[in-house]
Amino acid sequence: MTTALLTINDFSGGISTDETAQASNAFQAGVEVDIHDRVGILRPSFTLAQESTTTALVTAIDSFDGDGTDKLYGFDGSLIYQRTGTTWATDRTLSGTTALTDTPTMVKWNDAIYYATKNDVGRLTGTTYDDDYLTTVLSGTLPAQDAAWKPMKSFLDSLFIGDGRFVSSISTAPVFTQKALTLPLGFRIRDMEVIGDRLAIACGGDSATAGDSSKSTVFFWDGTSALPESRVEVDAIGGIQSIKNIDNILYLFTRNVAPPQPAGIDIYFYNGSDFDLLKTIPNAPGDTDSCRMYPNAVANYNNNLLVGTTRVSGGTNQNHGVWKWGRANRDFPRSLVLDNLTSDDEQSDVTIGSIFVFGDQYFVANKTGSTFRIDALSTTVASSAAYIESQVYELTNDEDPTLVKGVKIFAKPMPASTTVVVKYALDGAAFSTLGTITSANQNDILWGIQQRADIIELRIEMTSNGVNRPEIYKISLY
């Protein structure tokens, strides 16, 4: 009986930021792979498919049934798109407004859709738009007229609007309050979220750039008092990007502008008194790489956290798309994979503006190169670009290299026209192809390495056929 040198199984650990950890259930890279749907199974995830191109980046998507049918709307700051069938078409061209430079915002509240610009708040009721609803109907003016961010959140019986260091409100009456809350000088509101009976207000420094890291502070407010109840200073390396309540857990997302590497997006959770670092999304590996995320590029999908990341500058070897911080069930800790690339399979030059879950699908507004689009999760096409790269495994503890002979893939019966390509790298060399597994030879060991080495990495590439995909439950090295 052939004894394995090492075995990789379970896969539930997802991506490890320590590539040298000798973990049997984790890997250093995982792209378009699904490890969260079925316990112990590694398989390709379903892809994103383009539905429509847009004129600019859509940074907010929401659903609304103004005409009696629940439809999706997207907002890019100047245009509002409506989805009919699988096509997104311009439903409104805003008039007399100045679009926000960073994150145009749109939310559903009180049987209407509200959308913010630099100097006004518009409203869609039924099928009727009013682009200057705040100034003409409520005779209100926004206090700071922030050109970058206008986060909006429904809380208690009001719609709250972050504007610079101020929070304005519109009640159901409706009554507009220009300065329902005033924060100290030097803060700029990036995002807001409800947790329990408090509004969490995430702030950066007083800069109009998402890269500002001078402050990372979250204020907690009851919605009525003159002052916030408390504030938490976050020990973050980069500026706050987003704050979201997912399954009654408050998550905070910040830029990690390391070195030390890996740089990327840090995920924190609120423990009731402070924010603890959970995981770094390691998507910017180079010393000069820079990335960010947009406030609405995060969503809850089947109690798994979807996070869209964006390249700002640096090399072309960055990893961006829709990441999943999830788990197969509550008995497992959460783990990370790059679940979806954009519909054109771009992995580096990517901007994710927003993610929105609707029914059994989610929609991803993005930009690659010069193309703006909205993609939808396919339910019929699994990825043919899925792969993992294993940890860097040490094969020996003494001075003599170990003889490496081959690899065996343990998988469920493979559907026709699906494949698994096995590659290996010895002692830091480039990957070499060992062979291809199909339904015809899936019970075979791929002999053919027959070399001595101190360390090894494996790369496993998977090809699907429509909904049919390979399902791997163990990998052994001999």
Question: What confidence tens digit (pLDDT) does each residue in 111-167 have?
Answer: 999 999 888 999 999 999 999 999 999 999 999 988 888 999 999 999 999 999 999
- Has residue 240 got a pLDDT over 60? yes
Instruction: Name the band, by pLDDT with cuts 50, 70 and 90, for residue 212.
Output: low
Percent of the chain at pLDDT above 70?
Answer: 96
Residue 445: which of 405, 417, 415 has the closest Cα? 405
Q: pLDDT tens, 361-385? A: 999 999 999 999 999 999 999 999 9
Phi first, then psi: what are they for 338, rounded to 5°? -85, 95
Q: Do 393 and 370 have their domain in common?
A: no
Instruction: Name the band, by pLDDT with cuts 50, 70 and 90, for residue 209.
Output: low
Instruction: Name the band, by pLDDT with cuts 50, 70 and 90, for residue 208.
Output: low
Residue 263: inside a domain: yes
**pLDDT value, residue 98:** 79
Residue 1: inside a domain: no
Q: Do 238 and 107 have their domain in common?
A: yes
Spatial distance between the Cα atoms of 35 and 361, rounded to a whole number of angstroms: 18
Among residues 333, 356, 382, the one where a domain terminates is: 382
Q: Are strands 105-109 and 361-368 parallel, antiparallel or unpaired?
A: unpaired
- Has residue 460 got a pLDDT over 70? yes
Q: pLDDT tens, 29-47? A: 999 999 999 989 999 999 9
Q: Do 233 and 182 have their domain in common?
A: yes
**pLDDT value, residue 187:** 92
**pLDDT value, residue 146:** 86
Q: Do 36 and 175 have their domain in common?
A: no
Please give the helix or strand (H or E) that residue 133 lies within, else none. Answer: helix 133-136
Among residues 382, 408, 429, the one where a domain terminates is: 382
Q: What is the CATH number of the domain that holds 445?
A: 2.60.120
Full-prediction pTM beyond 0.85? yes
Is the CA virtual torsion 72, 295, 57, 96 positive or negative? positive
Residue 97: which of 63, 62, 134 has the closest Cα? 134
Q: Do 290 and 190 have their domain in common?
A: yes
Residue 297: inside a domain: yes
Higher pLDDT: 318 or 427? It is 427
Give mean pLDDT, residues 375-397: 94
Q: If DSSP codes are grouped into helix, strand and coil, which group holds residue 327?
A: coil
Residue 14: inside a domain: yes
Q: Do 377 and 426 have their domain in common?
A: no
User: Where in the sequence is the domain holding 367, given as residue range(s)?
Assistant: 47-382
Residue 26: which of 329, 337, 267 has the closest Cα? 337
Residue 300: inside a domain: yes
Q: Do 369 and 466 have their domain in common?
A: no
Q: Give the chain's domain count.
A: 2
Residue 268: inside a domain: yes
- Choice among 92-106, 158-172, 200-214, 281-295 with the minimum mean pLDDT: 200-214
Q: Do 302 and 410 have their domain in common?
A: no
Among residues 382, 410, 443, the one where a domain terminates is: 382
- Has residue 168 got a pLDDT over 80? yes
Q: Do 73 and 110 have their domain in common?
A: yes
Spatial distance between the Cα atoms of 84 and 136, rounded to a whole number of angstroms: 31
Beta-carbon contacts of 71 under 8 Å, excluding residues fewer than 6 positions away, are 63, 64, 65, 82, 83, 84
**pLDDT value, residue 331:** 82
Q: What is the CATH number of the domain that holds 131?
A: 2.130.10.10
Q: Do 422 and 368 have their domain in common?
A: no
- Has residue 328 got a pLDDT over 70? yes
Residue 283: which of 17, 13, 12 has the closest Cα? 17
Pull the structure tokens for residue 1. Answer: 């009986």
- Has residue 207 got a pLDDT over 80? no
Pull the structure tokens for residue 178. Answer: 């220009």
Q: Do 123 and 213 have their domain in common?
A: yes
Spatial distance between the Cα atoms of 4 and 475, rounded to a whole number of angstroms: 10
CB atoms within 10 A of CB 245: 15
Phi first, then psi: what are they for 134, rounded to 5°? -65, -45
- Has residue 95 got a pLDDT over 90? no
Q: Do 109 and 131 have their domain in common?
A: yes
